[in-house]
Structure 1
Amino acid sequence: MPELPEVETVRRGLAPAMVGARFARVTLRRPNLRFPFPESFVERLEGRTVLALDRRAKYLVAGLDSGESLILHLGMSGRFDVAMPDGRNLSPGDFYLDGAQGAPKHDHVVMALSNGATVTYNDARRFGFMDLVPSADLATCRHFAAMGLEPLSDALTPEAVARLFRHKITPLKAALLDQRLIAGLGNIYVCEALHRAGLHPEMPAGRLAGPDGRPSSKARLLAKVIPQVLTEAVAAGGSTLRDYAQTDGSSGAFQHAFRVYDRAGEVCRTIGCGGCIERITQSGRSTFYCATCQRHPEGLSGSSKIPVKSKVEL
């Protein structure tokens, strides 16, 4: 599933074609994706102008001049192709890394815009979805009401981290993946952030706050490295793993900078460390870390290590 940097990369690719343009014609080639399309979906879009294209966590939000907002979620394999009016196709062919997931038979929504651009939503697995909600109700709508703070916003402070995780005995990695606390963080970038911060993924999350509730040095470091990792990933165009590609069809490059993710059995890239990247499972998901530079504060080690030779489930 695309994580925050991939969704932000898609947003930046879509914005030049969509912002300021009007939906001239919208074609649905099926009645549903993960969920049925909203009632009168086509009629509510056609003739409306896109005022802005924003991102909330892993969602895209297009504000319309009708007072509604179009919410877009990519699911597991969703992507947008953009054909420009000057004849350039920014996404020719199939760019998914595992076969024909970008094939035309998976083009489910086609949006012709007033500026001549055509934006096509392609989704082989159909886990993505689209919704329309009143713009004034975005913060309280069913998609965002329980969502935590944005990790690329000024709200991610050491004090906020300490407040969110105080008294929690949940393993730190699991707590960081809780979208009700910090929204948009996924498995890849949490692994990378924890490594940069030198924090063990199984450390109790409550250790980020002192007895008085003030942020510990660990909280201050984590609040610093999370946006660093995400910003670097956005600058690299995200990470191409199995079936993610940018709107122009090209691959993201941040996977080449992974320090721990998907590197089980390899040497830690921290200068002077000399440790080896290990892999454990947490809540059924793969966690990658260096036991040398991410020591558990209680001297514990991963209790569910997976053999290096086993296949990584992305």
Structure 2
Amino acid sequence: MPELPEVEVTRLSFAERIRGARVQAVRLGKPLRWPLGCDPAAFVGQAVGEVSRRGKYLWLALERGGLLLHLGMSGSLSFSAEAPPPGPHDHFDLQTSHGVLRLHDPRRFGAVVWSSSLASEPAAKLLGTLGIEPFDAGFTAAFLHGRLRGRRVAIKQALLAGDVVVGVGNIYASEALFRAGIDPRAMAGRVSLARCQRLVDAVRATLTRALEAGGSTLRDFRDAQGHNGAFQLEAQVYDREGLACHACATPVRRIVQGQRSTFFCPSCQKR
């Protein structure tokens, strides 16, 4: 599933290129997770403004409202001067004077939803339960420690939930916990303030490196220019079951938490 690094890399790969363009046409394919919410003809003639990100959502501002986009489990956006004829998994085209923005989504868990503003429904509802951004100044050890207090779930599950901090997906949670030296099975509510500081630093360092590497491409992620991510090639524990830990040579273990694979070093990471 595309997570914060992949969504941000996607945004950066087309945001400046589409800004200022005029919408010329809209094409809808098979239904996505939620309906568009308005007549697509209403977009024609409108200018495209800034493209911003909140969690794993992209907000494409128009003169009147905007589009909230989500890549779902396997979606990707492309932006090109001339798009080829749409295939069976191409479900949304925004044709503009600068090029065509296309959502490709084989599993159709993605979404393109119109909202009059980010503060109005449905955008407000979809974004309302999201946690803090990991690069926000308010994401501190004290904040994390306070939000984890009383939680009777494993720390990895608390990171993945998205209501405390957004964007720390499965790969990045495993990697950040390794950096912080915290066992993914540790009870979230018992993580000390000092360990929360290490985890905040590790989350930021992991996501920063993932952004620099263009995100992770495990199967089919591409940015809007068709480039793969490379972070998975330098992962310390993710998808390295049975291989030697780079730090201590102990074999990396794999367990399942919440139906997701978790990778960790049983020697370097402590409960």
Cα distance, 1:152 vs structure 2: 2.1
Residue number in structure 2 paired with 1:127: 109
Given that 2:10 and 2:224 are in contact with CA atoms closer than 8 Å, whether structure 1 keeps it comes out as yes
Considering only CA atoms, is the larger Rg found in Structure 1 or Structure 2?
Answer: 1
Matched, 1:53 2:28: no
2:11 & 2:113 partners in 1: Cα distance? Answer: 17
Cα distance, 1:136 vs structure 2: 5.0
Q: Which amino acid is the alignment partner of residue 17 of structure 2?
A: A
* Per-residue Cα deviation, 1:225-260 (whole angstroms, up to 9, x for no partner): 101111110111000001211222221010111000
1:284 & 1:290 partners in 2: Cα distance? Answer: 19
Structure 2 gap ranges (5+): none
Q: Percent identity?
A: 38
> Runs of 4 or more off by more than 6 Å in structure 1?
none
Over aligned residues, Cα RMSD in angstroms? 1.9
Residue number in structure 2 paired with 1:280: 255
Matches within 5 A, 1:205-216: 205-209=188-192, 216=193
Matches within 5 A, 1:74-153: 74-84=71-81, 104-115=87-98, 117-137=99-119, 141-153=124-136
Q: Which amino acid is the alignment partner of residue 134 of structure 1?
A: S
1:202 & 1:83 partners in 2: Cα distance? Answer: 44
Structure 1 gap ranges (5+): 94-102, 210-215, 297-314
1:19 & 1:266 partners in 2: Cα distance? Answer: 46
Aligned length: 270
1:10 & 1:47 partners in 2: Cα distance? Answer: 25
Residue number in structure 2 paired with 1:233: 210
Task: Call closer, same or farther: CA 1:10–1:239 in 2, change over 3 Å.
Answer: same
Q: Which amino acid is the alignment partner of residue 230 of structure 1?
A: L
Q: Identify which of 192, 195, 202 aligns with 1:218.
A: 195
* Per-residue Cα deviation, 1:160-184 (whole angstroms, up to 9, x for no partner): 1111111222111111111111122
Q: Which amino acid is the alignment partner of residue 59 of structure 1?
A: Y
Deviates more, 1:56-65 or 1:260-269: 56-65
Cα distance, 1:138 vs structure 2: 5.4
Q: Which amino acid is the alignment partner of residue 76 of structure 2?
A: R
Given that 2:34 and 2:113 are in contact with CA atoms closer than 8 Å, whether structure 1 keeps it comes out as no
* Per-residue Cα deviation, 1:135-161 (whole angstroms, up to 9, x for no partner): 251597121111111112222111111
Q: Identify which of 56, 67, 70 aligns with 1:73.
A: 70
2:14 & 2:190 partners in 1: Cα distance? Answer: 41
Q: Which amino acid is the alignment partner of residue 173 of structure 2?
A: V
Q: Identify which of 131, 137, 141 aligns with 1:154.
A: 137
